[in-house]
Structure 1
């Protein structure tokens, strides 16, 4: 009983303390209830309505269903990925790259460095407590390396040459004034006799009707205020004659002036009568003043003299191939017509010429070097490795392939199209490149008439970076080519250019027409078909380590022998 009473007293005390807080809580509850009542209708509508999943952003019913299926069976993720990967371009490109990657037998590599590896593993077996002795063999100069400077394409022209010349002549306007007397008569031209001679009675060759005047009045009318002709007679004709007619008396004699203005074309007769000359333009050179006094008569003309400009052409057989043919080292390849005209008027002859050899430093191979280690002496014989240059070139080609892969088109060794122009049988040639000396300074060639892009092409071709595609005529006249353009494909390196030139022959994938070639690269499938071992890389051998260079083994052996000497020096032996 006491316990129950005590609990009651405790609860009353707690309620007395919490009374102020209960009022605040009631206010908060009232606010919350009012807010909940305002949202009740929207919540009920949302709960009762059917949601449309298509209104959700980025919602894909099929994708969700596929993800649910994979969630139920996770093992299918790997199998699905493997099935899709085989048809993916990136996956095929990676697999082809792995399949075509250059491989080397580890045993061959071990054989090359076997001696160094053996000494590196147990150096004391070769050096401990042993004397060093030996002898040096003879070094003989090696023959010239197998690498060549390469070739270049030289072209010349043969056929018909058109020489164009310009000519001018003046055409003055010659004006003359002729004065003559005129005799004027009246005559009957109506067919009704009026007491005048018939107009037909006068000489029709020297006389002409020049006007009419009213005839005599046949009936007058007077209304008391005015008198007027109510019946006029037929008009009377006026006739003018160059000579007097003795039969009749003229009513007047006058003097008439006639102006004749004729262009004098005597100076232009030679051009006008020449079928090979064409009139280009005619301009007025004397138009001020327009009115001039000729024999006392004012004569007005808009122009008093013209100047005519003509272009005349002449044809003759020509050739500029003597310089190339006189060298004796160039091989004739083919002859192509520069125009589509039949018969062809202009031909281009194409030659393949060797580049001049560059100076190479003399290299040696030293045979008979004797090295004694651990009391055993061995004579080292050395021979040049003929396969070293091919291996280095092949490795560099693979490195170039990785660097010049275009992921957008999945192609390799894509080039850029460049063109240069030159006059056929002309002096200025902006297309000289490989095989011709570079003219120092771009500004000089630009001043002579070459474009800056043509000069840069000249330099890149001289460096061996461009492949000659062909030539097409860019301007012709009367079936004869006057200006031609050469098309080139230029690449990032000389090796890329060689791969393109010789790879296209293997596929085969010839260059397109010179006017249309865009220098596309090899597809991955095309590059996989190339056999690098059949290609001639002699032009780039000089850019890599020559096969005839001293083997690294000699330097390694000398280094080892020096270390042995140092070892005994430290031990005091």
Structure 2
């Protein structure tokens, strides 16, 4: 209060002074003020710039080089952006984000567009005059039917046949004459050295032989010795001293009767048994020949093949198309497994879905609201939404892998009754009952359950047991995942990465690395099988019948009240 009084007194004191000021004095003061300011401005304009007068100035900035070349700043920023973690994150996000084609988007929202185009058809107002209203069917779902890999077998069946043949010992007479040659000792007797000649003695010199023919030189001294050679064949260029006639018998095994079986690659020799050994000594050409056995019987086990196949049903199914044929045995291949892509048979179709206008019941202008309970099928939608969250939950932090699978296999007889590989193509409950009846293992029954639910991907088949080159038992290998979404990502992601499944005996169902997953273009994948889980959540409410019963009770109530 004291401060306010002081201010007021000062104003009252100044009023007479202001009142005495003239316009000329005011103009003079203004000119003086302007002149002073103009001089200060002129001084400031003619003074060289001084950066130290800038508030917060701490010397020449490090970026002063950009003053004369501002474009360099933009170029260097662009060059350094590739190494900046934040920039790379944003760029990679733009490059690898999911993209969906207009066709896929149109198919997904087709039902909503149909309803929005003619909403009154599906929301026609409230029923009246005691009626329970009407229900209008919603447009059909656009979800694709589930498919699976069906297999069958072609090739041959093999049976073992016992065959036999006889081997005979055949005697053959052969000339066994010998030839006698003389050669002077110390002469050149090399012609008689060899496997067909042998030295059989030494005789007195050639001068004592007179009319004998000899080799190695003429007659010198009567006492000079001569070497005697006996040969089984004549020696070219020399005349024998004497020829000693002779005959011998050779025995040869005659295997001509067994030549066909021995040359057949489908036959294996089991044994050879002597069947002719009495007598062991026999006379052939006047000579006695002794052999321990003169005849044998050989036993062979041979494969008999018959063509067979069980693919007629799949070939005749117009919904199935052939994918590939895999050989189950070594070359020459005698058993093939044919793989077909087929729709799941007897798949439950979506029930008809309705929108009803009976939520309000009116009679003579008096309306009652029917309180509908929540749809009991909502849990199906919650389960489907949980599948989308599966991708986050399946990340393996230890191995930095996504969508890891679990290897599983089942056995079946080729062209046989035993088949523990009933899967997606067979109803769940009957399939399990059949597997139990066939004596299949618990793991094989679990595989059937998971495959029937769409959680398993077929890898391939290998032969587990074979006979005579024909596969008798095969094992089908699957990779099973925690969710249907994981299976779809694995199947279609491997195609994009050019990363096929390993051979069935070796596949371990490993997941994608972070780098591999970053390369996937999700916009090119067909998720219609997963979309179906979402659209199937919209079902005809179970409480419609209860609502109808309630309306009947209301009618009965008003009917009694009117009386």
Give the TM-score normalised by the residue count of structure 2: 0.45
